[in-house]
Amino acid sequence: MKRVVIYPKDIMIITGKSERYSRYLIQRIKKYLKKEDHQVVSISEFCSYMGLDQETVESCII
């Protein structure tokens, strides 16, 4: 079974940036998508926001 949610550690692996930047990026995506604090960001939402190919991202983190 594949994971649906993306976490700061995954973003660190994909972008090569720090954990702090990764948490900040998730907050920016949530604000852009008008999500509440308790809601999560999916891998597809992250890929859409960043302009990345979802299959490539999934292969990096899973």
pTM of the model: 0.91
Kindly report, residue by residue over 27-53, the tens digit of the pLDDT.
999 999 999 999 999 999 999 999 999
pLDDT value at 1 more than 90: no
Smallest Cα–Cα separation from 57: which of 2, 47, 16, 8? Answer: 47
So what's the pLDDT on residue 56? 93
Return the number of other C-beta atoms located less than 10 Å from residue 3's C-beta: 12
Q: Give me the amino acid identity at 57.
A: V
